Structure 1
Amino acid sequence: MDTATQRKWDSASRSFDFISFGDDHRMGPHKRRLFSKMRGATLMLAAGTGNDFRFFPPKQSFVAIDISPKMLEQAAVKAAAYDGTIDLRELDVCQLPFPDNSFDTVVTVCTFCSVPKPVGGLRELYRILKPGGQILMFEHVRSRIGLIGVFLDLMTPLSSRIGPDLNRDTVGNVQKAGFRIRREENVYLDIVKIIEGVKEPV
C-alpha cells in the first residue's frame, strides 16, 4: 500500500465534495452516458466519496475500490443509497488481489492523474480484465494545445502536493499498458476526455 498517497487523499477527503460539486453537475451527463456501457462483472477504481455512484445504471452489482479509508467512509453512505449492490474495498491499484481475467469492465473517473505509477496501475487493470474486456475512463489529461499544456506543466508541482498531477499523458499510458484504444472523445477542450480501451482477445 502506498501510504504517502493514502495520507494525501485522506486529507483531501475533508473538502472533496465541496471542491467537486460544480464539476459533478457539469460533467454528470457525460459520465452517465459513458457508464451506460458497463457490462458484466465491473470494478470501479478510485471511488472517492462515492459521488459518481449516482451516474451508474441502477440495479447493478460492482466492486468499488479506493486507497483512502477516509474517502471510503463517506462513500459507504452513498453506496447504501444506490439502487444496486456496491462492495467497497480499501485497495491500491498497483497491488490488486483479484485473479487474472476477473472482470468484464473497469471504470475510472479522474484517477490516473493521481496514481504515482500510472502505467503499472493500468497493467494491473489489464491483468484482471478478461480477454475482450473494456476499460471506461473519464479523465483529465495534459492538453496538446501549446500554451495550455505548458501552463499545466507549470501547475503540476503545486497541484500534486495536495491532489492530482495536471499533465499526465493518460491516452499514451493506456496504450503502453497494452490496451487498444476503442474511442477517445474530448469533453472539455482536450483536457477532460472519455477514453475507452479494450483488452484484445488472445
Structure 2
Amino acid sequence: MNNKWNKIIYTLWSPVYDVFFNTGIFLQARKKAFEMSPFKEGQKVLVVGVGTGAELEWIDHSKLDVTAIDYSPDMLNKAKAKFKDSSITFIQMDALQLNFNDESFDVVVGSLILSVVPNPNKAVEEMIRVVKPNGNIILFDKFAPKDGKVSVLKKSLRPIIAKFGTDIGINFEQLISRYMNLVEINEDIALMLREMYRKIILTKRTG
C-alpha cells in the first residue's frame, strides 16, 4: 500500500463506507471501543485517520478540544458534513507526518489506521511523539493473532485485500515491541471476530 493508492481507494470508499463499516457488528465494536474510553473534560484530543467520523459519534466532543485528521479529502469531507455544527477542527494531513509539536495532546485516537497506512511503525512513532507524558493512545484496529500464526488462507488473501486499502496481517506485538521503553499497555481487549479486532490503550511513559 502507498498513500497515492490509498487516496484513490478511499475516494471510492467514501460514499459507501458507513454502509459497510459503521453498522451491525462494526457499529457495536466502535461503540464499545470509545464510549467507555478515558476522556476527561477539557482534554486536547487528536483523532488520526478520522475517516467519515464514525468514532466521533462515541466521543463527547462538546466537552473536549478535538482535532481530527485524515489523508483522504473525500473521507474528511464526509466527517465535516456530519459534524458541521461542532467545534471539531478538521485538517487534511498524513498520519506518517503529523504537523504538530511534540507532546501536544492529552489523548490520541487511532481507529483502523495502522492497518491502512503504508508504514504502521512510523504512524505509531508519530502518535507517541505528539501525545503528552502520561497521555493515552487509544487504538482500535485489526491485527494478526498474538502468537503470530497466520492461516494459509489469510496469507493468500493478504495481498489481495491490501489492494482494497487495508492490511489483515499486522502483528501488534511485533509492532509495539520496539516502543515499550516509551509506552506501556494499559488495556488490550478483543472486540470483534475473536481477537482480530482489538481495543488497545497505550500510556506514554514519563522521563
| TM-score normalised per structure 2 | 0.87
After superposition, the Cα gap between the structure-2 partners of 1:195 and 1:55, relative to the gap in structure 1 and judged at 3 Å, is same
CA shift for structure 1 position 147: 7.5
Give, in whole Å, the separation in 1 of the partners of 2:30 and 2:97: 30
CA shift for structure 1 position 186: 1.4
Cα deviation per residue 1:148-201 (whole Å; 9 max; x = unaligned)? 644322221111101210111124323424422122111231111111111100
Letter in 2 for 1:156: R
Give, in whole Å, the separation in 2 of the partners of 1:118 and 1:137: 12
Structure 2 gaps of 5+ residues are none
Q: Which residue of 2 aligns with 1:115?
A: 117
Letter in 2 for 1:112: L
1:193 lines up with 2:198 in the alignment? yes
Give, in whole Å, the separation in 2 of the partners of 1:65 and 1:146: 31
SS of alignment partner, residue 93 of structure 1: coil
Contact 2:35 2:59 in 1 (8 A): no
After superposition, the Cα gap between the structure-2 partners of 1:100 and 1:156, relative to the gap in structure 1 and judged at 3 Å, is same
Aligned residues with identical type, % of pairs: 23
Letter in 2 for 1:97: N
Contact 1:34 1:136 in 2 (8 A): no
Give, in whole Å, the separation in 2 of the partners of 1:99 and 1:25: 33
Q: Which residue of 1 aligns with 2:95?
A: 93
The one of 26, 43, 46 aligned to 2:46: 43
Contact 1:51 1:78 in 2 (8 A): no
Alignment RMSD, CA only? 2.1
Letter in 2 for 1:50: G
SS of alignment partner, residue 162 of structure 1: coil
Letter in 2 for 1:16: Y
CA shift for structure 1 position 45: 0.9
Contact 1:133 1:199 in 2 (8 A): yes
1:79 lines up with 2:83 in the alignment? yes
After superposition, the Cα gap between the structure-2 partners of 1:85 and 1:24, relative to the gap in structure 1 and judged at 3 Å, is farther
Q: Which residue of 2 aligns with 1:153?
A: 155
Give, in whole Å, the separation in 2 of the partners of 1:38 and 1:78: 21
Contact 1:112 1:170 in 2 (8 A): no
After superposition, the Cα gap between the structure-2 partners of 1:126 and 1:48, relative to the gap in structure 1 and judged at 3 Å, is same
User: Which stretch of structure 1 is more off in the superposition, 60-69 or 168-177?
Assistant: 168-177
Give, in whole Å, the separation in 1 of the partners of 2:172 and 2:146: 12
Greater fraction helix: 1
CA shift for structure 1 position 89: 0.6
Structure 1 gaps of 5+ residues are none
Letter in 1 for 2:196: I
Q: Which residue of 2 aligns with 1:65?
A: 69
SS of alignment partner, residue 100 of structure 1: coil
Aligned length: 199
Letter in 1 for 2:190: N
Contact 1:143 1:149 in 2 (8 A): no
Contact 2:108 2:136 in 1 (8 A): yes
User: Which stretch of structure 1 is more off in the superposition, 25-34 or 160-169?
Assistant: 25-34
